[in-house]
Structure 1
Amino acid sequence: MEQQNKGPTILGVMWATTSTALVFVVARVYTRGKILKKMGLDDYLIGLSMILGLIFVGLTTSAVRYGNGRHSETLTRDQFEKAAMLNTAGFAPGILSFTVPKLGVVALLIRLFNPSRPRKIFLWSFVGGSCMIISGCIVIIYAQCSPTRALWTVNLNSARCWSPWILVNYSLFAGALSAFLDLFLAVYPGVIMWKLQIAQRKKIGLITAFSLGACAAVVAVYKCTRIPGLADESDSTYSTADLVIWTK
């Protein structure tokens, strides 16, 4: 088999995006906390998301060190098991790192627009409930095998596992929901701001800034095309590499 290694691509993409995000988050927290002294719930949620993202990248970096991104048959048993274990551990903070910011956007919208109580309830219920559904992927990932270590242990005779397509199908649904949620959070502020009596130039600038969230929806849609790789249990360290990259 041709020696293929997606490890360097995983690390390059993840550390580039994470470093860029870290700069902006630190600048935001410093400005809001130290200069303006007006930290809000949205700032704390974005900070939490950044911490989760760093944990995810740290676990993924360790997984790549042991061979994640390479074909499983090119690894020793010890390398495979350590890479698979770290990769599996990384999915929880990875999924949370892109769901928590959605709650941060809701907190930001409420702080900026101070909507009526029914709208606040709708936003928190709709977005919060959707994030819980998306996070259900975490439960399925760790519950699909009994004992859980069967997810990364080779030839564990006592293991009982569900069909991997249960996780794949649920993840496809969760991915589609995530894309819709990102699109909603990009369009909703624009609709509200268009009705506000503020300077046209400022209005267009704010609408443009929020509409960038639509890019996240495009990423979520593409990520769905990588999800079937979860079903390839025979070469999991290679088949899930693209999904790991796009999770970040």
Structure 2
Amino acid sequence: MALPTDTDSAVPRLIVTFSVLVSLAGITLGFRFYCKHRYAKQLGVDDLLLGLSYLILTSGAIFTAVAIRHGFGQHIWNIKLLKDAITSARIVFTGGAFVFSGIALAKTSICLTLYKIARKKWQRWTLVFIAASVLVTKLLSGIFIFISCTPVQKRWNPLIEGKCWDINVLCRYWSFSGAWSAVTDLALVVLPWSIIWHLQVKRLEKIVLGFVLSLGLLTGIVAAIKTTYIKSSDLENDFTYAAADLVVWESAELGVAIIAVSIPFGRLAVQDYFKRKRAQSVGNTNSQVSGTRCTQPDTSESTMVRRDGNDADDEVPFARQLAKPKAIDGARSRTVSLEQFLREAAEMPGAWRESGGIMLTREFSVGRHRRDVSEEEVGFRAWSPPPASNV
């Protein structure tokens, strides 16, 4: 029987896909780590999980590059040596198991990030359920690769004596896992809107934040497309070529998840860059003018103000809550996470609640050049609680 003569190769799209994913994910993740270092001076558990996911993505790219050298991406009948086809399959199955776990860690990181700003119990429990279900389904997808054959080597070497599950069983489960991943991604698109929409911040800020926090829709689309490439007949008869598209979309799901959860921090980093440039421009202008000038920068960043009766205003930029920002300069200024802020707002019966609770303000910066300026001179007045009634 003559072998097919199809010489089509999936190698170019494998190389392009991993090059783009690793680069973009690395840049956006760098923005995230920069913001966390600038405002929190430390990384959270969600950051560590996302960093580990990126290492898995990078490792997957290395695994794929090695597999390509052994014929991966080509039709199996175009691979000259049988041992190359076996080596290629072993590398791809092993790397695929790691990518499954990377997706689970990335989705868990997304849920942890949203958990920090979730206010209601049902929102938090929904996030916990999503994280746990994705973690279990994805980890099982990787585990089944190694337990579906006895001995395990038979999974990538059909010449070895042993027994394996029907390939249709694996494909059906992988399809279920991909479909469930797409459903949870859709839930993670809707949930951020319910979290931020009732907060007292500008409508434009809500829309922008809701949009950037809902970029997980792209991950869901990728997961849905991936399931269409899970075909048992192709994987069984022409694994080295048929599995290439599956590897592309599986890795794309991981890369897009990392990018989607890191973009909000990239937006914050860009905002801060332009604010510093404007501040430098204002400072250079003021340095040429005698006397003292109080400047009010044009900033659209919303702030959460807490009135706690300590004769000081604690202002917390809302966009920086995800980064757990450092305290603003001042002996009595401090910041809290949005979750803690809202919880305390609901539980503390202090004067700050009676005076309005959460308020939307604008940030002011005072420039000092040739002499010190008192608060009275620039129009600032410390807040103090209303006097107690004698009645």
User: TM-score if structure 1 supplies the norm length?
Assistant: 0.93
Task: Give the % identical residues.
Answer: 27
Matched, 1:178 2:181: yes
Partner of 2:16: 12
Q: Report the Cα offset of residue 126 of structure 1.
A: 3.4
Q: Report the Cα offset of residue 120 of structure 1.
A: 2.9
Q: 2:111 aligns with which of 106, 109, 119?
A: 106
Q: After alignment, is 94-103 or 219-228 more displaced?
A: 94-103
Q: After alignment, is 223-232 or 169-178 more displaced?
A: 223-232
More RCO (CA 8 Å, sep 6+): 1
User: TM-score if structure 2 supplies the norm length?
Assistant: 0.60
Q: Report the Cα offset of residue 2 of structure 1.
A: 2.1
Matched, 1:123 2:127: yes
Q: Report the Cα offset of residue 192 of structure 1.
A: 1.8
Partner of 2:169: 166
Paired AA for residue 124 in structure 1? V
Partner of 2:219: 216
Q: Report the Cα offset of residue 68 of structure 1.
A: 0.5
Contact 1:164 1:231 in 2 (8 A): no
Partner of 1:86: 91
Q: 2:243 aligns with which of 217, 236, 240?
A: 240
Matched, 1:72 2:65: no
Matched, 1:96 2:96: no
RMSD: 1.7
Q: 2:33 aligns with which of 26, 29, 35?
A: 29
Partner SS for 1:187: helix
Q: How does 1:128-139 map to 2 (within 5 A)?
A: 128-139=132-143
Contact 1:165 1:231 in 2 (8 A): no
Q: 1:143 aligns with which of 144, 147, 150?
A: 147
Paired AA for residue 15 in structure 1? S
Cα offsets for 1:31-81 (capped at 9, x unmatched): 313664142222111111111111111111111111111011211112101
Distance 1:122 1:245 in 2: 30
Contact 2:18 2:61 in 1 (8 A): yes
Partner SS for 1:112: coil
Cα offsets for 1:69-119 (capped at 9, x unmatched): 101121111210111111111111111222211111111112233x35564
Distance 1:57 1:230 in 2: 26
Contact 2:167 2:232 in 1 (8 A): no
Distance 1:141 1:231 in 2: 17
Q: Structure 1: any 5+ residue segments left out of the alignment?
A: none
1:167–1:154 distance in 2 versus 1, CA, 3 Å? closer
- Which has the larger Rg? 2
Distance 2:15 2:233 in 1: 20
Paired AA for residue 247 in structure 1? E
Contact 1:179 1:221 in 2 (8 A): yes
